């Protein structure tokens, strides 16, 4: 029995809400089943199709990591020798250690897949595992595509939870989204735990609010 692991994330760029990382494991001989289910990169699926496929994929072995904004900010600020890529790499290593596959396929966010792969291996219990670390692995490999579908679905669920909590739409959560920008302007100090404060979008609004306060004196 050869266990193949795939990983991907959703929510790397948003200024609101968590990053979701997923590890997905399947026996090598069963990979054709993923094709039968319609698995492909989550960005190539309609939300309805994605959610339907995700329900079926959740029956397979998988692990989900929700990385909250505070942990992302800690990494982006350079604490503990981290940045966003290294944080993602460490979380990937945790997933591999927990799931103990024979081979791991990783969707690489770094411009240097070789260095990224080497960094992950430093944190692995099994140093001999075969690692395939490539850009767009979620398009090329079905196991990474399966992980991307679950990650995207869970990220959408996390956004829905935030919207239920705040009682309004946050848009996509991405900095370029107008609804998101307006939400931050109006709520930047009300829900500190949902914002990535290291993001330029949040910093700009904070600076603007500070200037407004000074202008009132």
Q: What percent of the chain has pLDDT over 90?
A: 90
Mean pLDDT of the 113-139 span: 96
The set of residues, in sequence order, having a beta carbon less than 8 Å from that of 45 and lying 6+ positions away, is 38, 53, 149
pLDDT band at 217 (very low <50, low <70, confident <90, very high): very low
Chain mean pLDDT for the chain: 94
pLDDT at 214: 46
41-95 pLDDT per residue, tens: 788 899 999 999 999 999 999 999 999 999 999 999 999 999 999 999 999 999 9
Domain range list for the chain = 3-163, 166-215
Nearest by Cα to 176 from 211, 153, 200, 206 = 200
The 3-state DSSP class for residue 180 equals helix
Same fold, 3-163 and 166-215: no
pLDDT at position 130 over 80: yes
Q: What percent of the chain has pLDDT over 70?
A: 97
- What is the second-level CATH architecture of the domain 166-215? Orthogonal Bundle (1.10)
pLDDT at 213: 56
d(CA 204, CA 200): 6
d(CA 151, CA 179): 23
pLDDT at position 97 over 70: yes
pTM for this entry: 0.94
Fold of 3-163: Nucleotidyltransferase; domain 5 (3.30.420)
pLDDT at 207: 87
pLDDT at 64: 98
Mean pLDDT of the 155-165 span: 96
d(CA 38, CA 49): 9
Mean pLDDT of the 169-180 span: 93
């Amino acid at each position: 029995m050869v266990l193949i692991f795939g990983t991907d994330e959703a929510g790397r760029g948003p200024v609101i809400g968590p990053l979701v990382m997923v590890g997905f494991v399947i026996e090598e001989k069963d990979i054709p089943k993923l094709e039968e289910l319609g698995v492909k990169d989550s960005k190539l699926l309609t939300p309805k199709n994605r959610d339907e496929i995700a329900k079926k994929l959740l029956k397979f072995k998988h692990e989900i990591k929700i990385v909250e904004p505070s942990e992302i900010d800690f990494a982006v600020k350079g604490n503990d020798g981290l940045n966003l890529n290294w944080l993602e790499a460490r979380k990937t290593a945790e997933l591999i250690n927990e799931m103990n596959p024979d081979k791991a396929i990783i969707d690489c966010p770094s411009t240097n897949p070789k260095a990224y792969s080497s960094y992950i291996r430093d944190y692995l219990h099994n140093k001999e595992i075969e690692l395939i670390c490539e850009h767009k692995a979620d398009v090329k490999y079905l196991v990474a595509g399966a992980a991307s579908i679950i990650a995207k679905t869970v990220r959408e669920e996390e956004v829905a939870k935030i919207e239920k909590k705040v009682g309004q739409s946050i848009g996509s959560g991405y900095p370029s989204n107008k609804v998101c920008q307006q939400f931050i302007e109006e709520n930047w100090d009300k829900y500190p735990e949902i914002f990535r404060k290291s993001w330029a979008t949040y910093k700009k609004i904070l600076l603007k609010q500070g200037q407004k306060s000074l202008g009132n004196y």
